[in-house]
Chain A
Amino acid sequence: MTLAQIGVDVRQAGQGDAVRGVVPRWVALPTSVEEIAAVLRACAEQDLAVTPAGGRTKLGWAASPERCDVLLDLSRMDALLEHAAGDLVVRAQAGLPMDALAAALADKGQELALDVPPGWGATVGGTLAAGLAGPRAFRYGTARDLLIGVTVVLADGTIARSGGKVVKNVAGYDLGKLFTGSYGTLGVIAEATFRLHPLPAGRRWVVAEPDAAEVPAVAAALATAQAEPSAVEVDRPRQDGPVALAALVEGTAAEARAEALREIVGSGTVTAEPPAWWGRIPPGETLAEARFPPAATGAVLEAAGTALRGSPVSGRMLLATDERLGVSTLRKAVEEHGGRVVVLRTPDDDVDRWGQVSALGLMRRVKERFDPGRRMSPGRFVGGL
């Protein structure tokens, strides 16, 4: 059956539906897992290439797809399927906006500990597929650590589940981890189940502006402080400018613990609100992420000739600039300290976005198995996956 015959809403695509410059022919708007499968089967029959889309906030990230005929828009799959509050578990459709999810969970005093900032329209599926880390990854891990079950649809229309709705579960391979951060190149995430956390009794931030040279040592001391910060972030709006540092404490006795952290920093104030830049992606046409062993913080601060924001304790920072990013020099410097540099977004087509990856051969084989026809966002990911 062709796309027009399967009974799923399909409309003509326009410029606004482009995936990093590639304008698809149609936009399909499935409303159920079965409809996603029907769309993908029809695309398989006609060899149409597909890119899934959620809130569309990151369609310009990563590389352009080699081809894109159909934008699979998940915005109509926006149901919160079940919130089992007593089990601290939630299951949602991929198109559910993260804001709506957060609001529903907050009603029951719970949260998904993934710092997606409100107001951008990011969806559950997009957040998983882009796999970005937020400040509290230091304590809770990233999306892959909080995802406990998924339903995915493969390029041939196969519907598959892994995991489940219990946190502790080692039955079978964890497809959820594989799909997290896969940028829509393995298949479509249709539903996801997460473990939740109770909203903390209190939150306090210690906000300071230590001497830039002191930042690595201060961060290292905070990382091992027994007052247990949930996050430590720095923000440097200009290359040679001052560095702001903020540490978050959550839970009971937050005030006293924040005070203990303030003493470690040696300056600063304790506040009930985060600084405005907290957990936000820094502005700039080109955005790169450095991941590194935390002790390399000093080296990264020095090597980055740009604005920069992120976590010196998790070893993750976003570098943003409107100018050309000297990727190879930067990468060389960071790799020397055991780190990596990935260019998340750039207008430049000739940049090596990903750098060397030891397991690229295995990744290629995974892609070949899951999407032998190369129809799922081909070329958008590492090594042209």
Chain B
Amino acid sequence: MDELIAALHSLLPADSVITDPVRLRTYECDGLTYHRATPGVVVLPETAEQIARVVRLCNDFGVPFVARGSGTGLSGGALPREDGVLVVTAKMRRILEIDLPNRRAVVEPGVTNLAITEAVRDQGYYYAPDPSSQQVCSIGGNVAENSGGAHCLKYGFTVNHVEACEIVTPEGDLVTLDRMDPGYDLLGAFIGSEGTLGIATKITVRLSRTPEAVTTVLAAFESIEQGGQAVSAIIGAGIVPAAIEMMDALSIEAAEAAVACAYPAGAGAVLIVELDGPAAEVEQQFARLREICSAAFELRVAAGPAERAAIWKGRKSAFAAVGRISPAYIVQDGVVPRTSLPAVLAAIDRLSREHRIRVANVFHAGDGNLHPLVLFDDGTPGEGERAEVVSGAILDLCIEHGGSITGEHGVGVDKSRYMPRMFGADDLDTMQLVRCAFDPRGLSNPGKVFPTPRLCGEVPGVRKGVHPLVESGKAEQF
């Protein structure tokens, strides 16, 4: 490590190499704080060329490297390696080009998600993917996680809004992956690869035109079942709202305690539905929505931006808010087909009672993305373990119902052990062929996503017999 650090000093300005143990420790975890490791060394490069040189150096020394943006990730993706280099993009925060005629912007990876929207909002544009962490999270992190946001129901994820990425490959080459290029869609494979296929150094994003009209509705229901029925009815009516969010009684209680969001008292569930688009269309859809939500005991419609923000306030604070009603909690992220929501919510409720662990449910109801908040008291012996059991069982439920173990927070270190429950060995081996093509030495963010690294030298044996998904009955289940 000492030799490597000396070499890094010769490549980078003095203040771009961090070795002070106290400062190193500030990088020991991302937003998932129960996985910690002090990085061997931290570098803060200022250019793509510097990142390429750092990566080449890592190759010379056979040392792993991990990219880090703003460290808001919730799956331990940016967990450093004690024997490796943490490459932090915090000094690469320039918006390089705003090209409105082509509706795109070219940015450095450390630029925050919201900064892009702020740079073009006055001209009537915005960057569509809007993770709740958008004030701080970096676009490089968004690319790595294929982040979504409340509005991805209508507008899609990061992968649908990125036109090109310049990357430093795990071997230190600068390569551009462009949607316009013929050939394999390596851009599509890179986005969502959680830093395991290289480091994004320049990102071209698509800008969207601000919609003409936005209508935000808060509907309060007596029960979560009624809320769920309304969601199904909205989709069934052929309406694709920008967002459909749902919160249950416990998460409403938490939000109330934290930010006094003043949601209707006594609600078993609230739905936030946002319609946007051409004014004439929004108007007609809203009329329809009102009919559909007839079971709601209260329906609030935001009259302007301030009221819209008030409606969103409770939802946006929900994660942090549960801290008010519980000493500790796990934020889970799983996906089920929307039509399985009622069954899955009932099963979560059973799990909760069986293990005496409270679960607050907040979710992107439109696309079946659950964020159960599993509450526990870390001061009470055994509760943490019980919460872990409940949290894991929720993922099993998602898999059982044909869903996914993560809708937006990624696999990282946290969920790699669940990957074999969702995918068979052949599936994972095949994904790792991509890894081996990009990173034959396994130096780029090793230990993330996949439970066991594939040795890239090995010749894949032909596996015979039934696919594990078929064997376990899951493939027929669809």
Contact = CB atoms under 8 A, between A and B. Distances in A.
Contacts of A315: 102, 180
Indicate the size class of the contact surface on chain A: 35 or more
Contacts, number: 261
B236 to A, nearest CB: 7
A360 B235 CA distance: 42
Interface in B261-317: 277-281, 283-285
A170 B184 contact: no
Contact of B281 (A88, A253, A294): A253
B192 to A, nearest CB: 5
B16 interface: no
Given A165-B337, A169-B335, A158 B429 contact: yes
B212 interface: yes
Interface in B236-276: 236, 238-240
A362 B404 contact: no
A228 B277 contact: yes
Interface stretch (A195-203, A272-280, A321-329): A195-203
A295 B160 CA distance: 20
A175 B184 contact: no
A159 B211 CA distance: 43
Interface hub of B181, B236, B431 (most chain A Cβ within 10 A): B181
Interface in B390-442: 402-411, 415, 419, 422-424, 426-431, 433-438
Interface stretch (A20-28, A117-125, A219-227, A263-271): A219-227
Interface string B360-380: 000010011100000000000
Contacts of A200: 238
A161 to B, nearest CB: 5
Interface in A143-182: 144-145, 152, 154, 156-162, 164-175, 177-178, 180-182
Interface string A353-385: 011011111110111111010000000011101
B275 to A, nearest CB: 11
B324 interface: no
A353 to B, nearest CB: 8
Contacts of A152: 430
Contact of A340 (B175, B182, B411, B423): B182
Interface string B214-239: 00000000000000000010011011
A170 B181 contact: no
A342 B423 contact: no
B30 interface: no
B193 A173 contact: yes
Contacts of B124: 224
Interface hub of A144, A158, A292, A293 (most chain B Cβ within 10 A): A158
A381 B183 contact: yes
Contacts of A158: 426, 429-430, 460, 462-463
B31 interface: no
Interface hub of B183, B429, B460 (most chain A Cβ within 10 A): B183
A293 B410 CA distance: 32
B225 to A, nearest CB: 16
Contact of A165 (B189, B419, B478): B478
B91 interface: no
A177 B188 CA distance: 6
Contacts of A291: 180
Given A158-B426, A368-B437, A168 B469 contact: no
B102 A162 contact: no
A169 B406 contact: yes
Nearest to B101: A295
A86 B411 CA distance: 27
17 contacts: A84-B337, A145-B156, A162-B427, A164-B403, A167-B368, A168-B152, A168-B364, A168-B408, A169-B335, A199-B238, A226-B279, A227-B212, A251-B277, A252-B284, A357-B181, A362-B175, A372-B459
Interface of A: 41, 44, 81-82, 84, 86-89, 91, 109, 141, 144-145, 152, 154, 156-162, 164-175, 177-178, 180-182, 186, 197-201, 220, 223-224, 226-228, 251-253, 256-257, 260, 291-295, 315, 339-340, 342, 354-355, 357-363, 365-370, 372, 381-383, 385
Interface of B: 99, 101-104, 124, 145-146, 148, 152, 156-157, 159-160, 169, 173, 175-178, 180-186, 188-189, 191-193, 209, 211-212, 232, 235-236, 238-240, 277-281, 283-285, 335-339, 364, 367-369, 402-411, 415, 419, 422-424, 426-431, 433-438, 449, 459-460, 462-463, 467, 469, 478
